Structure 1
Amino acid sequence: DRARKQELQSEDLEEVFLPLRDAPYLDYFLSCKIYVAFEDGVLAGFIGFRPGSLNFIYVDPTHQNKGIATELIKKVLTELERPVRLEVFTDNERAKTLYRKFGFERVNTITEKWSDEFPVVFSQDTMELR
């Protein structure tokens, strides 16, 4: 939850944050194949994916900048057939730099509102690895 909150805060979307256990996409998340990373016995991050897509990747802020996300992505990319797509907030340059390191390229950008309950406008890029 801390990593998701960090991501949303960086986009001025804090008001839409919900803990994962309460999120409307929890069932979708649980339908993904999920790998977790531990550091010193503590859950440090996770990645969720489905055929053709990386759907969730989060590393707890206290464990960032240690190569955990890189290792999770490396593992998953050995299992996924190309092309592989992902979505990322347009202004999340830190994440996009990581994805570009693996060869992902932006193929589309959309701007939309979050929901009727939270009519906040945001922009996200679709990136693809061929």
Structure 2
Amino acid sequence: MSTDVELCGLVARLNQRLDSHVRRVADRLGITASQAIALRELGEPMRLTALAEHMSCETSNAGYVVDRMEDQGLVERLPDPGDRRAKLLSLTEAGLRCRGNVLQALSEQAPVEALSAEERDSLVALLRRATA
């Protein structure tokens, strides 16, 4: 088997484990997996299209998630100072607390915890290059 084929299989298996981990965390926190992903990605205000890209989904799907989060008081839509026709998604105080809980829970028993901190840093750097 070629290295590229093996790499694809390993990355796919890691992705499945990460998806399962996100679902378990979301269930434990009483939110959906999509909301957990959105909270993870909303470290700074961004447009809905950018959030959808970060979430690897269609803008309409991200919009549905954001609508639910807005109803729950976790996110608000603010005017974009760079484009008055656009809105920025920003976490509320409750959203910031919830994001903190999500980030903490995601770091516990993560599928990559078998790697040392240095190995995880190296993996992050390699994956950034591969996905750039």
**Taking structure 2 as the reference length, what is the TM-score of the superposition?**
0.31
> Comparing both chains, which one has the higher relative contact order based on Cα–Cα distances under 8 Å and sequence gaps of 6 or more?
2
Q: Which has the higher strand share?
A: 1
**Taking structure 1 as the reference length, what is the TM-score of the superposition?**
0.32
